[in-house]
């Protein structure tokens, strides 16, 4: 009966404890030599377990004890999700462009990009660098802010319980403040600052930048419905976040979001057709229709105006919302996110006249989810031997973090509506879906064949040579001497030593299809981190932290004395 009430790990420990008690073996003392235990593997546990008064039983049954201990340490690894939450939000301060505030916590960074937009006569100071370079790309920055906002909308209470609510709002506002600046008139949005080609020729700290800071825009003659749509989605979602904390700011964000949606809808086109400089870095492969649906849904959530919902219903077929069965969700492809939110509307039952279309959205949403869960008859998402979802070679972990987020929120939607997920391969309970999502997060945090945390600064083993200019060069605050474009490559890029600055909370690209990872600065496919990698994890860390706290409250660990 007792084991049914305890977690598997605690139950195993309890049984082992009873066995040892029965044979007068205590946890106090020093571990016998490997020869006495006849098993070299126990050396790994020398620091965790010590044994006194060995008896004939120990000599006979020590393999069983080894199995118990091995199971405990390999199958039930515990992580501090509260620490992961704190560190994930700290990362966004490392990516800030512009004049840093007085309460900046990442002290190895300093002001940068203070003349952005000057050449074009606009103020474009601020925002985020997307990854390890110094270009401000509008599309991935907006998606980052949307995901941060969605995390707060779904898990704001849990983030607050973890003591990180204000930091989460600061991370969102740093992005939305920039979007307000970049939206200089109803039909003009500045899409990019900096040039990827010239930027990649240099290895410099952002404080020393000598590369081009040319700015690019979309307007009526050079449309970009995808960028306008994603930015509208980000500002609409953020307006929900700030509705109570800062009503005036919330209204301002909503004003810009509605204008941007109108701009993107009226002047249709792909932004990478208008801004050629972005094609090699963030091309809009999926087109703009998914972003317009995405923006309309977020505006409906922010305003409750049925016009936006009608747009999502009316355009469902023409824009691919109920046609595309997608197995990825990213800064480029938003269909799965659209389908998940539309499914929630169906579950809430508020717009029953649209159930026929919403059911079709839900069908495509569940195709995505079942693919991730390996429960489709066909087209399941591949996995590494260690169990990580695997989409593609370059920065694969971005797809893992977004999948984990969608699985987590959908498990909540199902639980709250007392429903289950019906996949071709079987019915999934909400808890099973959450458990799989947790397995992906745990893999990221170190439960993987490499025993590596891919969240930088978390755990004892994590990437030390992240492909990141600012992190890899001595801090400007430590050495204000100018470091030139090629000087950084000559003196810093090729160093074998770890980066001098730890970019805490960055989520790197992660392992390959065989769970292998090379911690080399030049291995940018695996060691470069991006803002949109970390953003979806913020809410999940908060939820898992809350669940761990509740579990401890209901199942305190057994403490024995001898």
Closest alpha carbon to 415 in 428, 402, 396: 428
Q: Is the CB of residue 231 less than 8 Å from the CB of residue 288?
A: no
Burial class (CB in 10 A: 0-12, 13-18, 19+), 103: exposed
CA 430, CA 425: separation in Å to the nearest integer? 15
CA 273, CA 218: separation in Å to the nearest integer? 10
CA 530, CA 365: separation in Å to the nearest integer? 26
DSSP count for the chain of H helices, then E strands: 22, 7
Helix pair angle (335-348, 355-372), 10° resolution: 130
3-state secondary structure of 297: helix
Active-site residues, by number, are 467
Say which DSSP state 112 is in. Answer: B
Q: Which neighbouring-strand residues pair with 107? A: none
Q: Which neighbouring-strand residues pair with 490? A: none
Instruction: Supply 524's token pair.
Output: 């940018």
H or E element, residue 249 = helix 247-266
What are the residue ranges of helices labelled H in 76-164? 81-94, 138-161
Phi, psi of 40, rounded to the nearest 5 degrees? -65, -25
> SS in 3 state form for 154-193?
HHHHHHHHCCCHHHHHHHHHHHHHHHHHHCCECCEEEEEE
Instruction: Supply 419's token pair.
Output: 């429903």
Q: Scanning the structure block, which residue is given the tokens 């546990």?
A: 45
Q: Is the CB of residue 77 less than 8 Å from the CB of residue 442?
A: yes
CA 114, CA 51: separation in Å to the nearest integer? 63
Closest alpha carbon to 297 in 140, 127, 153, 141: 153
Q: Is the CB of residue 347 less than 8 Å from the CB of residue 417?
A: yes
373 CB-near residues (< 8 Å, 6+ apart): 407, 421, 423, 425, 428, 433, 436
Phi, psi of 384, rounded to the nearest 5 degrees? -75, 165
Length reported for the chain: 562
Q: Is the CB of residue 299 less than 8 Å from the CB of residue 258?
A: yes
Instruction: Supply 469's token pair.
Output: 């200019």
Phi, psi of 379, rounded to the nearest 5 degrees? 55, 45
Closest alpha carbon to 134 in 212, 210, 199: 199
């Amino acid at each position: 009966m007792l084991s049914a009430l305890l977690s598997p790990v605690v139950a195993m420990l309890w049984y082992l404890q009873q066995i040892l008690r029965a044979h007068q073996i205590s946890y106090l003392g020093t571990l016998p030599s490997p020869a006495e235990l006849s098993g070299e593997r126990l050396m790994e546990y020398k620091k965790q377990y010590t044994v006194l008064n060995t008896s004939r039983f120990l000599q006979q049954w020590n393999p069983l004890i080894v199995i118990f201990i091995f199971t405990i340490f390999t199958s039930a690894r515990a992580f501090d999700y509260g620490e992961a939450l704190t560190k994930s939000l700290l990362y966004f301060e490392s990516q800030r462009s512009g004049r840093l505030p007085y309460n900046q916590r990442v002290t190895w960074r300093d002001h940068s990009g203070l003349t952005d937009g000057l050449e074009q006569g606009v103020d474009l100071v601020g925002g985020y660098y997307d990854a390890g370079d110094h270009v401000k790309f509008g599309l991935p920055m907006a998606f980052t802010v949307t995901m941060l906002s969605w995390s707060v909308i779904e898990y704001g209470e849990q983030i607050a319980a973890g003591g990180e609510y204000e930091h989460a709002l600061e991370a969102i506002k740093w992005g939305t403040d920039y979007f307000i600046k970049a939206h200089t008139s109803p039909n003009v949005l500045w899409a990019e600052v900096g040039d990827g080609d010239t930027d990649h020729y240099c290895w410099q700290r952002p404080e020393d930048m000598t590369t081009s800071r040319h700015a690019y825009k979309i307007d009526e003659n050079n449309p970009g419905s995808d960028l306008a749509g994603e930015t509208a989605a980000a500002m609409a979602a953020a307006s929900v976040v700030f509705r109570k904390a800062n009503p005036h700011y919330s209204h301002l964000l909503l004003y810009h979001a509605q204008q941007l949606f109108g701009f993107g809808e009226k002047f249709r086109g792909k932004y990478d057709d208008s801004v050629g400089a972005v094609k090699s870095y963030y091309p809009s492969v999926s087109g703009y229709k998914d972003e317009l649906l995405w923006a309309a849904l977020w505006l409906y959530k922010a305003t409750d105006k049925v016009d936006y919902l009608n747009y999502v219903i009316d355009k469902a077929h023409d824009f691919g919302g109920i046609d595309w069965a997608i197995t990825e969700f990213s800064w480029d492809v938003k269909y799965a996110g659209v389908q998940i939110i539309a499914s929630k509307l169906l579950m809430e039952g508020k717009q029953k006249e649209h159930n026929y279309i919403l059911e079709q959205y839900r069908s495509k949403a569940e195709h995505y989810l079942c693919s991730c869960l390996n429960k489709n008859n066909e087209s399941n998402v591949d996995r590494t031997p260690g169990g990580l979802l695997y989409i593609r070679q370059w920065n694969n972990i971005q797809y893992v973090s977004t999948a984990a987020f969608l699985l987590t929120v959908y498990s909540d939607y199902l639980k709250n509506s007392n429903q289950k997920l019906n996949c071709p391969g079987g019915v999934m309970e909400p808890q099973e879906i959450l458990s799989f999502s947790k397995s992906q997060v745990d893999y990221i945090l170190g439960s993987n064949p490499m025993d590596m945390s891919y969240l930088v600064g978390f755990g004892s083993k994590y990437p030390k040579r992240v492909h990141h200019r600012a992190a890899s060069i001595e801090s400007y605050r430590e050495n204000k001497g100018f470091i030139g474009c090629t000087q950084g490559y000559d003196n810093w890029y090729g160093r074998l030593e770890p980066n001098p600055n730890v970019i805490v909370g960055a989520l790197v690209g992660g392992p390959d299809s065989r769970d292998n990872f090379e911690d080399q600065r030049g291995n940018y496919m695996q060691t470069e981190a991006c803002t949109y990698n970390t953003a979806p994890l913020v809410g999940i860390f908060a939820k898992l932290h809350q669940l761990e706290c509740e579990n401890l409250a209901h199942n305190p660990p057994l403490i024995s004395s001898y």
